[in-house]
Amino acid sequence: MKIDLNDWVSSPQELKSLLMGVRSYAHWYAQTTVKMKVTKDMSQTAPAVSQAVTDLLNTWFSQTPPSQTGLDELLALLQKFESTAPRITITLAAAAPESLKKQLTNWCRQNIDPNLLVDYRFSSTILGGMVIRHRSHVYDWSFKRQIMANRANFPEVLRRV
């Protein structure tokens, strides 16, 4: 089974959530399978997982019946994706709406890396713009930095006013 995880996750939190949901479901599935073999009780209720996990599991098992092996493969795929996918952190001046997150993530995946995971944070101290961190490298394109970097030009600008 091959799926493109990029359609399902765009941030490390989403990947972690998917991983935890799938792991929880796999754990429940393993216990339920054993229990069904012993008690023949078919009334085991599945654990509550997020809609994204449900959609992922439905897609993953769309062509094959659910199995422990399939869940293990999905978990392995998620863990591999978690360990290999590049990730960056974008800090904005306020909590970013989903549309903006999507817009920025799409741009990054189209222009930088298709597997890129983007973590969003906010800090009002940067005033505007954004700060991007990739591992130890920080790109500070915030308003605050620009203002502070160009504060020596303020008197010149004021003289021209």
Partner 1 sequence: MTGTIFLQIFLFIDVFIIGGLAVIALQHAVAHFKQPKPLANDAQVPIVADPLPQTVKENLVHASQTQFQAVLNQAAGSLQQDLKTTSDNINNLVLRLASEIVSNELERYREELSKLHNQAVGDLSGIKQQMVAHETELKAKVAQEYEAEKQRLIKQIDTKLADAVSSFLLETLKHNVDLGSQSTYLIDTLEEHKAEFAEEVTVED
Taken in order 78, 83, 86, 88, the sign of the CA dihedral is positive
Q: Which two tokens stand for residue 13?
A: 């939190």
List 100, 109, 119, 145, residue binding partner 1 (CB under 8 A): 100
Distance between CA atoms of 63 and 82, rounded to whole angstroms?
25
User: At closest approach, how far in Å is the CB of 63 from partner 1?
Assistant: 32
- Contact criterion met (CB below 8 Å) for 112 and 139: no
Query: Which residue among 9, 15, 22, 96 contacts partner 1 (CB under 8 A)?
Result: 96
Considering only residues 2, 155, 160, 161, which one is a binding residue for partner 1 as defined by CB under 8 A?
Answer: 155
Give which of 92, 160, 76 is closest to 129, Cα–Cα. Answer: 92
Residue carrying structure tokens 């012993």? 38
66 counts as binding partner 1 under rule CB under 8 A: no
Residue 111 binding partner 1, by CB under 8 A: yes
Instruction: Give how many residues touch partner 1 by CB under 8 A.
Output: 37
Among 38, 42, 48, 158, binds partner 1 (CB under 8 A): 158
Find all residues with CB under 8 Å of 86, minimum gap 6, and list them. 113, 115, 116, 117, 134
Contacting range for partner 1; rule: CB under 8 A; set: 17-25, 43-51, 74-82, 139-147: 139-147
Closest CA to 90 of 68, 120, 135: 120
Cα angle 133, 128, 114; round to 5: 40
Question: Taking CB under 8 A as the rule, does residue 104 contact partner 1?
Answer: yes
5 binds partner 1, rule: CB under 8 A: no
Binding site for partner 1 (CB under 8 A): 86, 88, 92-94, 96-97, 100, 103-104, 107-108, 111-113, 116, 124-125, 127-130, 132, 134-135, 137, 139, 141, 143-144, 147-148, 151-152, 154-155, 158
